[in-house]
Structure 1
Amino acid sequence: MMLALVRHELRVLASLGLWVARRRHGIGDGTGFGYARGQGAMMMGFGFVIVIESITMSVLLRNHPAVQRAWFMVDVYTLVLVVGMHAASVVRPHVLGAGFLRVRHAAHVDLRIPLEKIAHVRRESRHTHERAEGELNLAVGAQTTITLELAEPVAHFTFLGRRRDVRLVRFHAEDADSLVSALRQARNVPSPLPDPTG
């Protein structure tokens, strides 16, 4: 567990460097599709709360300088991680490459799906996602915009390394229509019949 946390934090910190350098990770010859725009305001809100908390605790702990310094360092590191998680979402977009789609979510999900395993793809906005066996929901701002139905399961490894086989993947993309169109063109994926349940 500790190793997984350390790896994740290293990826987050590396993402900060890529963000500052205006570079993206893992695009290669593929095409990147962003998804971070929908969470920017929320992440700024988290950062603002951390700054206010740090100021408040600094005042409350002014008579305990050692504790005050330790608390301040924890708050600074937490703020760096929050900014880093947003940076990871920016620099690690979804990638459509030759024969595969890489579905990503910040620094903790990187699922490579061979195009031949995609049975159906559709543009579908959803704001509620109940956890279900064989499904992976990667919402941004509580929303997903694309649904992939797979012809056979692909292995997804959770944050702590547990394997889950998924047959349905929902995720968010800023330009969902373009990604769906590019996917269909790349794989000639058939469109499903409209969902009668809406």
Structure 2
Amino acid sequence: MTRGFLPDPVRRLAAHEARVLKSFGLWIARRQHQVQPGDRAFGYASPQAATVYGLTFVCLVETIGMSFLVRDWPAVHAVLLVLDLYTVILVLGMQAAAVTRPHVLTADTLRLRAGAHVDLVIPLDRIARIRRELKFQGAGGTVPGDVLELPVGSQTSLTVELTEPVTHVQLLGKRREVTVVRFHADESGELAKALTAAVA
């Protein structure tokens, strides 16, 4: 399906990049995306921070190296410089989006996020069970189709089981019904305790 001249997947990718770039402004202002007074925010970005900053450093080194290699070709140098700097911005944007878009517990919903590409709202009355369990992605076994995993640093620390499915919309628009969500929170104990009390 298209709207105007752009296919839907292209529009969705463009919207995703816009959210990533917008996250920089929130990061600089030390604000969080759509966290209202009375809501409780729970971060999840810590396990990936070292990897993101390390990758950013590698990208910067590569940018400097390429600048020296193509300095005799101004047009090529300009194009590669723009592409390399934009790559650095997007890599840092991953962390900015993760920091500024935390999980949010409201009076009647649990909003689970993964940077700028996942935003899943679960009504509290659909939560049957909450448990803390550390799972590593790729540790073996297949993931059932009704299970959504939102790992950070290849790990999840909380599992929520639902009484009825919720719809997860993937980045390119594909939809699927999920009844179990595994995700990470830096303060998993506090979130489990608060969520248990809210559900009760």
- TM-score calculated relative to the size of structure 2: 0.92
Among candidates 158, 177, 184, match of residue 165 of structure 1: 177
Task: State the partner residue of 2:74.
Answer: 65
Any unmatched runs of 5+ in structure 2?
1-8
Alpha-carbon offset, residue 57 of structure 1 = 1.1
Query: Displaced runs of 4+ in structure 1, greater than 3 A?
Result: none
Q: Which whole-Å CA distance do the structure 2 matches of 1:156 and 1:26 have between them?
A: 19
Structure 1 residue 52 displacement after superposition? 1.2
Q: Which residue of 2 aligns with 1:82?
A: 91
Which position in structure 1 is the counterpart of 2:26? 18
**1:111: how far off?**
0.2
- How far does the alpha carbon of each residue in 1:57-101 deviate from its partner, in whole angstroms, 9 at most, with x for none? 112212211101110110111111111111010010000001110
Instruction: Say how many residue pairs are matched.
Output: 188
1:131 deviation in Å? 3.6
Task: Tell me which residue corresponds to 1:194.
Answer: none
Alignment identity in percent?
48
Letter in 2 for 1:49: V
Within-5 A mapping of 1:10-159: 10-28=18-36, 29-129=38-138, 130-159=142-171
Partner Cα separation in structure 2 for residue 6 and residue 156 of structure 1: 19
Deviations for 1:106-159, whole angstroms, at most 9, x for unmatched residues?
001000000111111100101135443011100000110000111111000000
Q: Partners of 1:131 and 1:62 in 2: how far apart? A: 49
Tell whether the 8 Å contact from 2:135 to 2:156 is kept in structure 1 after alignment.
yes
Do 2:137 and 2:151's aligned partners in 1 also have CA atoms closer than 8 Å?
no
**Matched residues in 2 for 1:131 and 1:46: separation?**
28
What letter is aligned with 1:84? G
Task: Tell me the secondary structure at the aligned position of residue 133 of structure 1.
Answer: coil
RMSD over aligned CA atoms reads: 0.9
Whether the 8 Å CA contact 2:165–2:178 is kept in 1: the answer is yes
- TM-score after normalising by structure 1: 0.92
Measured in 2, the distance between the counterparts of 1:46 and 1:154 equals 34
Q: Which runs of 5+ in 1 are unaligned?
A: 189-198
1:6 aligns with 2:18: no
Instruction: Report SS of the residue matched to 2:24.
Output: helix
Amino acid of the structure 1 residue aligned with 2:84: D
